[in-house]
Structure 1
Amino acid sequence: MSLLEGRTVIVTGAGRGLGRAHALMLAKHGANVIVNDLGSSAAGEGADQTPAQEVVSEIERIGGKAAINTADVSDWNAAKEMIDQAVDTFGSLDGLVNNAGIIRDRMLINMSEEDWDNVTKVHLKGTFAPLHHAANYWRAKSKAGEKFDATVVNTTSHSAMFANIGQTNYAAAKAGIATMTIVAARELGRYGVRLNAIAPRAQTRMTEGLRELTEEQERLRAPDWIATLVAYLSSTQSAPISGRVFEAWGWGYSVLESWQHGPRTDASMDPTEIDAEMKKIVRFARPNAGIDRDTWHDV
């Protein structure tokens, strides 16, 4: 039996790049896939159903089952209709992969209100809205006495975890998604839902032109490395993993460890008394983590 045989999974932003790779990998391993994509540009402009339809056609050519959805995932009602479509089309919903996103990079002082609003809306609300409606569907099933193992894979970013300059809007939204994932995992576990997030390193249209890559770097940033982890986390085989954030690319998969309690000092009600102790605890605290891979360790 295939890894995902009989499971139905929604993938948002599945018309290109990582989302396309996720949808194809899920279908290859037996999942029924709702291929969601508004078809906008990388900056979130315009709409075109062609990319989503091409992915559906590709899935059908390999013998899989898929259906197109062109909803704006940040639209509350459209997100609900997407959940309903999955259930109406394939009889159930077993997984959700929140991948849709746009990018509008600028330094903070040059970032417009529109840049901020659009990026945070698509990433943050565009993750919350489908998750909210899917969670209510699963909660109702659980309360009806059904036993199941539902999965959600959200998409955060190294930009959020390691504070990439020029991406205040994107990093803030992606950091929110990481924390949302952990909170939701704690809330929804009682209903049979597991949630994890990935911080992918891939070469897609959203990263084109950011830096020159060697042939080896291109290979390590191929989307299929990440799609493999998404397919695994979308399967029952990954139980009981939940509430985790993973880095993913061709170099490997690693667990991102959350904020930890560090050095402390006694509190005071007089701000003139705490200078020495505050500088001491900062001196003994570990520096903020960097993005370089020499900070990882193998097991």
Structure 2
Amino acid sequence: MAGICADRVVAVTGAGRGLGRAHALAFAAEGARVVVNDLGVALDGTPTDGTPTDDGPAERVAAEIRAAGGEAVAHRGDIATTEGAASLVTAALDTYGRLDTLVNNAGFLRDRMLVNLDEDDWDAVVRVHLKGHFLPLKHAAAHWRAEAKAGRRPRARIVNTTSGAGLLGSVGQGNYSAAKAGIVALTLVAAAELAPYGVHVNALAPAARTRMTEHVFAAAMASDAMAPENVSPLVVWLGSAANEGVTGRVFEAEGGRITLMCGWHPGPGSDKGTRLTPAEAGDVARALVGAADPPLPPYGARTT
């Protein structure tokens, strides 16, 4: 199958539904052989049937790709564990002999206001989003570093999934916002550390209709512009060899709109040249805030 990902092997986590499924199908349509990962859990991460089964969401998407003439294999490991993340890479190597692109997408929600947020809900969400990005990235990167050191420099790509909640914050989603902000920082570090081995690492903050968003933005999500398939073209390009030189970047994607997000940059500053008193520091802080553009409010924040 011809396309910009012809002959590439792509692993997509959380690919049984929503954005992950759309990404997997889009990569396959561009010629990629796809490892479809999905543990098959409910929206809050709880098991749907006790154990993954052969007819779970990962296998259904893999079968859908094969029915369309593509190549795909299902993987039902828990990528937030060392064993599951390592087996994702192994599945690609054992089945197709290589791994070229990793798309970290798996996640779920347990929304609560901070005073009602249980420790278990914090740990579960940070685990699947942040640890579930780190471990597959770590094992894929170790493989690509070994390839580079053996003289087989890869043109490898990693696409991480952050969120507007991770960029601005979102009321009622302290755990999710913190995890998604951590993914941005992880992306920046990984892009710098893995560049010598031929690995590009970028992050995407998508806005689309999925299980995680359909109840929050019900009216807007009814629009075809919010279809997850509209986000996937950018993910496919970032994950392809056609992306040469774009790394360490964060994009927002919604419908037909793509925005390059520019993060923390120095704003107004002041230097007395010696230690300030607390009162002086307060005066400077107020002056700097007054000289700066106001920040965008977190999602769901009261603006009046």
- TM norm structure 1: 0.94
**Which 5+ residue runs of structure 1 have no aligned equivalent?**
293-299
Q: Quote the RMSD (CA, aligned, Å).
A: 1.4
Conserved? CA contact 2:23–2:235, under 8 Å: yes
Q: How high is the sequence identity, in percent, across the aligned residues?
A: 46
Match of 1:266 in 2: 271
How is 1:1-299 mapped onto 2 (pairs within 5 angstroms)? 1-46=2-47, 47-49=51-53, 50-214=56-220, 218-266=223-271, 268-290=275-297
Aligned counterparts of 2:206 and 2:297: Cα–Cα separation in 1: 16
Deviation at 1:160, TM superposition (A): 1.1
Deviation at 1:290, TM superposition (A): 4.8
Deviation at 1:291, TM superposition (A): 7.5
Aligned counterparts of 2:202 and 2:297: Cα–Cα separation in 1: 22
Q: Please give the per-residue CA displacement for 1:41-73, whole angstroms capped at 9, x wherever unaligned.
A: 010000544111110110000111100100111
Deviates more, 1:267-276 or 1:144-153: 267-276
Give, as a single letter, the amino acid of the residue that structure 1 aligns with 2:247.
S
Aligned counterparts of 2:283 and 2:232: Cα–Cα separation in 1: 49
Aligned counterparts of 1:85 and 1:219: Cα–Cα separation in 2: 35
Secondary structure at the counterpart of residue 199 of structure 1: strand
Give, as a single letter, the amino acid of the residue that structure 2 aligns with 1:70.
R
Give, as a single letter, the amino acid of the residue that structure 1 aligns with 2:289.
V
After the TM superposition, which segments of 4 or more aligned residues of structure 1 sit over 6 Å from their partners?
none
Aligned counterparts of 1:134 and 1:102: Cα–Cα separation in 2: 23
Match of 1:295 in 2: none
- TM norm structure 2: 0.93
Aligned counterparts of 2:248 and 2:282: Cα–Cα separation in 1: 37
Match of 2:302 in 1: none
Give, as a single letter, the amino acid of the residue that structure 2 aligns with 1:3.
I
**Which 5+ residue runs of structure 2 have no aligned equivalent?**
300-304
Secondary structure at the counterpart of residue 247 of structure 1: strand
